Structure formats: structure tokens, C-alpha cells
Amino acid sequence: MAIANDAELIRAVSTAGRLVQEIQDYCGRSARDNSRINFPRGLIGTAEQYRNLCPSYLSQRQKSSCAYGFMYIDVVWWLLARTDLSGIAKEMTIKSAIITLGTVLEAVLHIPGQGIFASMAGVKKRLDRATIRGWLSEQERDSLKQLWDHRNNVHIRLLDTHEFDKYRSEHFNEPRQALKALMANLKSWDEAGRR
């Protein structure tokens, strides 16, 4: 039966949480096929939907890789929005999403035959130029620059501090929206003949 109000939602969440905990308590770390719960259907966008967000200067392989990244981000969003994951486990989940978004950002900012976008210039310089070209607002640019700074923490040997209390949901939610805006603008620019 479908949830019809907040009181029913609270009861359903309590029941689901209790049942998931009972499954875990019974199965432990044993990977049993009969212990898998259904992941919500319709939440994860399709590869085709996400490929369609990509500008055509990306190869089909690159579009697919970007799409798979966005599908993974949908899973991360659900995990963070629908569970009480906290502490380091939550932060490392966010970090993983940041790295994935950074990978997609880097891919869409490499535009063949377009000066700085085809050069070895770093992502931040490309973001500055994208802002000058009107593809990003300054706020979106700053959000994506912060994403890139956090993304570079993938290089653990270069970390200057510990990672405890370093990543928050807004460190990937806001850049995700900025990245989608950038991709929409790049796609429009590309379809208009790169004018």
C-alpha cells in the first residue's frame, strides 16, 4: 500500500530500517543472494538519458563513461538522502561522488580545437574561460573550483591534513547542479555551430 501522509512515512521508515537491520544481523558479511533488498526502481537515470546531456564533441565512449558516472551519483544521492550514514563512512561516500563529478567535469572541459580548452591548461583555468564565455556564472564556477580542489584529494600522498570532517553533501550537490548547467550550455553552444 502506498504511503499517503507523513505519519505513514514515519512508520514505514521505522519498519524498513528495523527490517534491514534484522537482515544484516542475521546475514552478517555473508553475501547471500536471498538477502538482497530491492533498490528503488526509477531513481537511477538511464545511460541514454545521461548521454543526451553530453555535447557532441565527446566521443560515444566518453559520453557513456560520463553517463555511467551520473548513474553512480544517483546511487550515492539515494544512499545519502535515504539512510542515516554518518561520520567517516558518509564523508568517504561524498568524496567518491566528488571524484566522479570531477572526472566528468574534466572530460567536458576538453574541447578539441578550442584553444585553452584543447590545451594542457588546468581545469581551473578552463573554468575561468568558461565563465568569460558565458557558459557558467561566477557562483557556478566557484562551486566547480571547490569541487576540483576536493577532487584532487584523490592523491592521498599530497594531502596536507586529515580528511575527517572535510566533506559535506553540499560539496557535491551544488557542483552537480553547476556541472549540469555547464553541460547544457556547452551542448547548446556545440549544437549552434560553436558560435
Cell of 20: 534491514
pLDDT at 144: 97
With a cut of 70, say whether residue 195 has pLDDT above it: no
Q: What is the C-alpha to C-alpha distance for residues 76 and 54, in angstroms, rounded to an integer? A: 21
Mean pLDDT of 155-164: 70
Cell of 173: 550537490
What is the percentage of the chain residues whose pLDDT exceeds 70?
Answer: 97
CA atoms within 13 A on the CB side of 51: 10
Q: Where are the domains of the chain?
A: 1-37, 41-191
The pLDDT tens digits of the residues spanning 111-123 come to 988 888 878 889 9
Q: Determine the length of the chain.
A: 195
With a cut of 80, say whether residue 10 has pLDDT above it: yes
Long-range Cβ contacts of 164-167 (<8 Å, 24+ apart): 164/88, 164/91, 165/91, 166/91, 166/95, 167/91, 167/92, 167/94, 167/95, 167/98
Q: What is the C-alpha to C-alpha distance for residues 3 and 15, in angstroms, rounded to an integer? A: 13
Cα–chain-centroid distance for residue 5? Answer: 30
Q: What is the mean pLDDT of the chain?
A: 92
| Structural domain 41-191, CATH architecture | Up-down Bundle (1.20)
Tell me which of 7-11, 33-37, 67-71, 157-161 is least confident: 157-161
pLDDT at 1: 73
pTM: predicted TM-score of the whole model, two decimal places: 0.90
